[in-house]
Structure 1
Amino acid sequence: MPPPKPRAQGPAVQLDPDELLARAEREAFGGDERLAEQNATLDEKGLRRMVLAFERRYAANQTARLKHADEPDKFVDSEVDLDEEIKRLGTLAGYPELYPEFCRLNAVPSILALLSHDNPDIACDALVLLNELTDADAVESSEEGGAALVASVKENSGYELIYQCLERFGGEASPEDQAAIGNVLGIVENCADIDVDAAADFCAAAPKLLKWLLKRIGSKKPTDNNKLAAAEVLAILVQTSDENKKRVGDIGGIDALLRAVAPFKGKDPADEGEREVLENIFDALVASTMETNNKKAFVENEGLELMLMMMKSKRSCRTSAIKCVDYALTRCPAACERFVDILGLKTVFSVFMGKGFEKLRKSAGLEAVQEEEERAVSVVSSLFLHLAKGSERYNRLCAKFVEDEHAKCDRLAELYAKYSNRVKAVDARLETRTNEEFELTPDDLYVERLGGGLYTLELLSLIFASVFATGHAGIRTRLLLQMELRGVRRILETHAENIGGADGEEERVRRRAHVVKLLVAIGGGRPEGEEEEAKAAE
């Protein structure tokens, strides 16, 4: 029997590698194409398919809602399908490098439009998606992708639409509403983290945002995740934008912030969450007081009185309180005068002398002790700089260095030696760096030294020169027993040379002239070129 003839075979079919991979994935997931697609590596081709499917579902839902506006049963299926497509888009969070293509496909406007969807569940899903896509972990590997997404959100009026969700779900009457608010706050924070201008842009597009946040942190409701998030977002928005600092003042925010911290003048936070909320509110308050007009509002709303009570109470907020006083008194003569009038000298010099530091070290650590010490030095320095020389207030300040047998002079010398040694240690460390390892400019070196203690040492030198310039024989004798004028003069000369113009040319000239006068008072002469500036300031 002859052998069977071989079957005729057609030309071999060359399967596309992508199709082979897709087939293998479908087989691996039991033939479920949707499950296989979710677990596949996403590329531009896959993204286009995903966006197209989403847009189709969205269009179908819009059509069904228009056609059967009074018959929800007839469009509910389309909303289930749309909900699934929104959640599928969450896969994109793992591929931030595809965000520019996602924006080019014009998908962002559709996502933002969903925030106003009549079905709150759909709107909430859109918030979840935006929060996931802008999350720091999602965009970490592609800054360009994150920037493209935030830019597209801004260009398509996204900031306004996102804020409107705060008003829509702001009652937080249900767990779903609470989750929605949490996602909104997360989006705001994420955008501000990705784009440095987003903090100002968000509040410009949604002017009521800061007011909403201030109201939320001032709420008497128990501290929850949303209150914590609101305080954190408020601090970020104010700290990263000068425009927002001004906006806080314009809407009465200084008073609102003071009211929010006031309950803690006599008690400590109940738990870690409340403690974090309080810290963020203080951060927002401190940042706000950097704005000139807000300093005035801070004084008028008795902010200094409140901070002094907190400093005296020895509660956990005392460190934040003295930090706030420091910022409020900086470049503000009116605040300095008010501080003396309300008997603040006794309180700040108690900190200056280190009273209560051992207890503070045990409860809050060395970092808190260090900050209080440096803030006290800064406050005293501001008082010497801004109080009118020869005035009653100025004389009361100088008298502090005479009382208790010149104890403040001894403490001044002690602190000067401490920070001088700290700066020497920094200088020694900088000298060990080779030019091959680091290329530091003179400005870089100065900044390094400032962070290593030189800033506080300069302030201590200003205090020393101011006290020495009074001409009081007892003060001069006490200081000269423990300190060398040559070292102080050298620090002041360095300080004068490095006073910048960040606060304006007029302020720079005034401050340099002030240092020149102190140098003359302690026998240091004038640094080269300062004579004309001193005359201009006078």
Structure 2
Amino acid sequence: MDPRKKVKMQQYEDEDEMEIDERDDYQEDMQFREQNNELFDERQLREMIGQLENNYKLNSDLRMRYPNQPDKFIDSEVDLDEDLRKLLILPAYPKLYPIFYNSNALQIVIHLLQHNNQSISNDVIQFLKELVTPDGDVEPKIIIELYNCLIKNYFIESLGELILRNDEKTQEEVNLLHDCFEVIENMVDIKSSICKEIGFRSKIIQYLIKRVEDNSQTLDDNRLYASELLVILTQQTKENLEIIGRSGGIESLLMVLNQYKKKDPETAEEKEILNNVYDLLTLLLIHEENQDYFQTYEGLQLMIKIIQGKTSSSIRAYSLILLAINNHKENCQKLIQIGGLSIIFPILERKGLKHKDQNKQFEIDETSVQIIKQLLRRNSDLTLKQRIIDKSVEKLESLKKLRNEYVNIIPLIDPEEYDELDEKQLQKIYFDLLGKGLIVIESIDIILLELLNNGVDVNIDSQEIVSSVKQMLKYTGEKEDIDYYNPLLQKIEVNQQ
């Protein structure tokens, strides 16, 4: 069948543009591959490349000469489409990749991403989706060199432009966007450093954030995919986390959480998107600049509302409070000023936010005592710090009760065993115990140390507290914390003598 019979013309206000009917395209592509699988070699590939170069030049010339007369360049468009489909056999022969990416064909394919005929762009994405994840075994250096050539020839920039101009008004555009996301995921899965290139060379990160915020469509696989991609692109890339913060992305993510401050997601897709947003904010809040943005957009206030709403994500919201105030003086003060103590101490006593699952309850307990520890440690405002001390004294029995509970949980080690262990083995045991509850004990001991230094009788052997805090500083303490706690420990030890 003459492929030109498959072409239909469609009028647009700005320009005439064709749309290639893709019915049965997949079947035809597969038939072509099966027929040519055994015959395909370097000679055939070079012939395909030559045809692509000629038809690309012809189509570009005709479109330039007859921009408003589609009948003049329709044949060359069909030929381009056919050339791209023939190239779909290449991913089955990764050893031939160097011939492809060292020719003009790679540049042409990237240029065709911006072709006015969307069907051509679709064909390019289909080809690239398979090209970047070749069939069978492939030498790593071949695929990495392909990626390097793609980046060098502005593929990421072109892909970003294609994504940004896609408004998803048709199912074809929806599918195209999904395929673009798949190309990104496949490339990053093989070469993680591409995450940084995507953030540096395009606006894809910013687009994904806005796409996650947009919940206008009822069934929206691309929104879910965008949230998953964001987690992938930021897990090990500090630069992309900074891009999200500087571009207002934290506000967008908080807008998503705001929809669920009093209710739970209704569908599995919504739940997954919400979890991905929490994962993103968890990554973002590791950096001080993003902690600033989080409070600028009233993130602490929103987390309190989510906890008060008693939704299924309340525990995650509680954890974000800890991340937002961690080593951050201003946010510590802000949490107290907005009434955070009235939320934290009841949770410490297991009122309101609690869980039947032991691991979940451990997470809640750990978060509570670490928040109180941070508020005491990082608060330079003496009036606000005194409020925390007073509240801790008021809830002293609850703190001691919780401490005793975890002391009874943690497996004891025979002291005689320590003589047989070297420092590395001891450290391994220590970190293992942290995950079983020691972190709760140590955090409470730091709170008690602060109370002791303020003249409060905690009715616990002070030497036990000193030993606990010293052990923490030995294995996990940073210089700033060591400089802060050592004088307090020395003061207690002097008083013991």
Question: After TM superposition, is the score higher than 0.5?
Answer: yes
Q: Which position in structure 1 is the counterpart of 2:155?
A: 158
Amino acid at match of 1:281: V
Amino acid at match of 1:321: A
How far apart in 1 are the matches of 2:433 and 2:97? 42
What is the CA distance between 1:47 and its match in structure 2?
A: 5.4
C-alpha spacing 1:264/1:105, structure 2 compared with 1 (3 Å): same
Q: Deviations over 1:186-233 (max 9, x none)?
A: 223333333332222212111x33332222222241351111112222
Q: Which position in structure 2 is the counterpart of 1:403?
A: 394
Q: Which position in structure 1 is the counterpart of 2:450?
A: 466
How far apart in 2 are the matches of 1:393 and 1:304? 17
Q: Which position in structure 1 is the counterpart of 2:257?
A: 261
Amino acid at match of 2:479: V
Q: Which position in structure 2 is the counterpart of 1:528?
A: none
Q: Deviations over 1:374-422 (max 9, x none)?
A: 3223222211221238x2322222233333672222113323443x43x
Q: Which position in structure 1 is the counterpart of 2:205?
A: 210
Q: Which position in structure 1 is the counterpart of 2:469?
A: 492
Match of 1:371 among 339, 363, 369: 363
Q: Deviations over 1:69-114 (max 9, x none)?
A: 5454454444334334423433444555665564345543232122
Q: Which position in structure 1 is the counterpart of 2:124?
A: 126
Match of 1:511 among 481, 485, 488: 481
Gaps of 5+ in 2: 1-29
What is the CA distance between 1:496 and its match in structure 2?
A: 1.9
How far apart in 2 are the matches of 1:138 and 1:367? 43
C-alpha spacing 1:465/1:149, structure 2 compared with 1 (3 Å): farther
Q: Deviations over 1:25-59 (max 9, x none)?
A: xxxxxxx99454544497xxx25623541441342
How far apart in 2 are the matches of 1:306 and 1:33? 56
How far apart in 1 are the matches of 2:56 and 2:480? 67
Match of 1:342 among 338, 349, 353: 338
CA contact (8 A) 1:265 1:306 kept: yes
How far apart in 1 are the matches of 2:471 and 2:136? 43
Q: Which position in structure 2 is the counterpart of 1:184?
A: 180
Q: Which position in structure 2 is the counterpart of 1:386?
A: 378
How far apart in 2 are the matches of 1:322 and 1:467? 25
- 1:195 aligns to 2:186 (yes or no): no
C-alpha spacing 1:65/1:200, structure 2 compared with 1 (3 Å): closer
Secondary structure of 2:168 counterpart:
coil
How far apart in 1 are the matches of 2:233 and 2:42? 33
Q: Please list, as runs of the form range in 1=range in 2, the aligned pairs for 1:219-298 lying within 5 A after superposition.
A: 219-222=214-217, 223-298=219-294
CA contact (8 A) 1:143 1:194 kept: no
How far apart in 1 are the matches of 2:334 and 2:187? 40
Q: Which position in structure 2 is the counterpart of 1:86?
A: 84
C-alpha spacing 1:471/1:238, structure 2 compared with 1 (3 Å): same
How far apart in 2 are the matches of 1:78 and 1:441? 71
TM-score where L is the length of structure 1: 0.75
Gaps of 5+ in 1: 1-31, 501-507, 526-538
TM-score where L is the length of structure 2: 0.80
What is the CA distance between 1:316 and its match in structure 2?
A: 1.7
Instruction: Please say which of residues 64-73 and 255-264 is displaced more in the overlay.
Output: 64-73
Q: Give the CA RMSD over aligned residues.
A: 3.5
Say which one has the larger Rg. Answer: 1
CA contact (8 A) 1:54 1:82 kept: no
How far apart in 2 are the matches of 1:200 and 1:262? 29
Q: Which position in structure 1 is the counterpart of 2:16?
A: none
How far apart in 2 are the matches of 1:366 and 1:93? 50
